[in-house]
C-alpha cells in the first residue's frame, strides 16, 4: 500500500508506523525493547542530547534498562519535539500517535529515533545495512471518528500474539485479553489505565481528558474491541 506523506501542520495529530526491512524483527530481547523506549524519551527533546552513558543501570536480570527518573532530575526540563500521545512496540514494527509541534521538529525526532536505534541494533548484533523498511509511514488523523478509534487500535495491537483474529472480533475471552494488554509492557496502554509503566514517555492529558480519565478509557476500549469494525479505520491503520 502506497502512503503519500501528509503535510505536517503544527497541532495536528499523526499516526506513524515503521517496520523492519523484509519484516525482520526489530526487537530480539527485552534489552532491545527497553532501549527503544529509552530513545522515545531521550530523543524527544529540542535541546542538544547529553552524554547518556549514565542513563543505564544493570538490573538483576542482566539487561540494561533506562533510568528515566534519574535522568529527569539531572537535566533541564525537556523541550518536546513532538507530543507522544500513544506508542506500541511489536516484534517487527512499531506504532506511534503524535501531535506535531512543527514539521522540522517531527522530522528531526523521527530521524533521531530510527537512526539511533538502527546504530544500536547493528552494533549489538554485529550487522550492517538498513534496519527499517524505507521511510516511516505517516498519515494525518484529520477527523473525530479516526481520533476516537485510533488510540484503541494501537493499544490493541499486542493481541496479535494472544488472539490473532481480534480484528474480526474473534476473541474467546475478553477478560483474559484485557489482562494480556494490561501486562504487555511495550505499550502506553498500562499508563492510560493508571498502571504505572513508562509514564514519562507519553503526554496523556489530551486523550484522558477526551475519554474522561483512566477508568473510562479502559471501559471505552473494552466496548470498542467488542463492537469494532476494522473498516471504520482501514485508511489510517497503515498495515
Whole-angstrom distance, CA of residue 175 vs CA of residue 74: 41
Do the domain assignments include residue 115?
Answer: yes
* 23 and 133 Cβ atoms separated by less than 8 Å: yes
Q: What is the pLDDT of residue 75?
A: 63
Do the domain assignments include residue 198?
Answer: yes
Do the domain assignments include residue 238?
Answer: no
Do the domain assignments include residue 167?
Answer: yes
Do the domain assignments include residue 87?
Answer: yes
Whole-angstrom distance, CA of residue 209 vs CA of residue 211: 6
CATH number, position 29:
3.30.70.1290
Do the domain assignments include residue 8?
Answer: no
Q: What is the pLDDT of residue 1?
A: 43
Do the domain assignments include residue 1?
Answer: no
Where in the sequence is the domain holding 176, given as residue range(s)? 13-233
Question: Between the CA of residue 40 and those of 57, 94, 156, 167, 176, what are the distances in Å?
Answer: 18, 11, 20, 27, 29
Look at the chain and report how many structural domains it folds into. 1
pLDDT (mean) for 194-208: 96
Give the tens place of pLDDT for each residue, 47-82.
Answer: 887 655 333 333 333 334 455 554 555 567 889 999
Do the domain assignments include residue 47?
Answer: yes
Of 156, 205, 206, 198, which is closest to residue 181 (Cα–Cα)? 156
Q: Could you tell me what percent of the chain has a pLDDT over 70?
A: 84
Give the tens place of pLDDT for each residue, 15-59.
Answer: 999 999 998 999 999 999 999 999 999 999 998 876 553 333 333
Q: What is the pTM of this model?
A: 0.87
Give the tens place of pLDDT for each residue, 112-162.
Answer: 999 999 999 999 999 999 999 988 999 999 888 788 899 999 999 999 999
Amino acid at each position: 500500500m502506497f502512503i503519500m506523506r501528509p503535510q505536517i501542520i503544527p497541532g495536528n495529530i499523526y499516526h506513524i508506523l515503521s517496520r523492519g526491512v523484509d519484516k525482520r524483527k526489530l526487537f530480539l530481547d527485552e534489552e532491545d525493547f527497553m532501549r527503544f523506549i529509552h530513545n522515545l524519551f531521550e530523543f524527544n527533546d529540542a535541546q542538544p542530547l547529553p552524554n547518556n552513558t549514565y542513563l543505564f543501570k544493570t538490573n538483576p536480570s542482566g539487561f540494561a534498562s533506562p533510568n528515566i527518573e534519574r535522568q529527569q532530575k539531572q537535566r533541564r526540563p525537556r523541550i518536546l519535539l513532538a507530543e507522544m500521545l500513544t506508542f506500541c512496540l511489536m516484534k517487527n514494527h512499531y506504532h506511534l500517535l503524535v501531535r506535531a509541534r512543527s514539521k522540522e521538529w517531527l522530522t528531526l525526532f523521527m530521524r533521531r529515533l530510527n537512526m539511533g536505534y538502527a546504530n544500536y541494533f547493528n552494533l549489538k548484533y554485529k550487522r550492517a545495512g538498513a534496519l527499517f523498511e524505507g521511510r516511516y509511514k505517516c498519515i494525518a488523523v484529520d477527523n473525530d471518528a479516526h481520533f476516537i478509534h485510533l488510540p484503541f487500535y494501537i493499544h490493541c495491537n499486542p493481541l496479535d500474539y494472544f488472539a490473532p483474529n481480534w480484528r474480526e472480533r474473534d476473541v474467546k475471552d475478553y477478560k483474559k485479553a484485557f489482562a494480556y494488554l494490561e501486562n504487555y509492557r511495550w505499550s502506553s496502554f498500562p499508563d492510560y489505565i493508571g498502571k504505572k509503566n513508562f509514564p514519562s514517555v507519553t503526554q496523556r492529558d489530551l486523550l484522558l481528558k477526551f475519554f474522561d480519565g483512566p477508568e473510562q478509557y479502559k471501559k471505552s476500549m473494552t466496548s470498542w474491541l467488542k463492537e469494532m469494525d476494522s473498516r471504520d479505520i482501514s485508511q489510517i491503520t497503515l498495515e
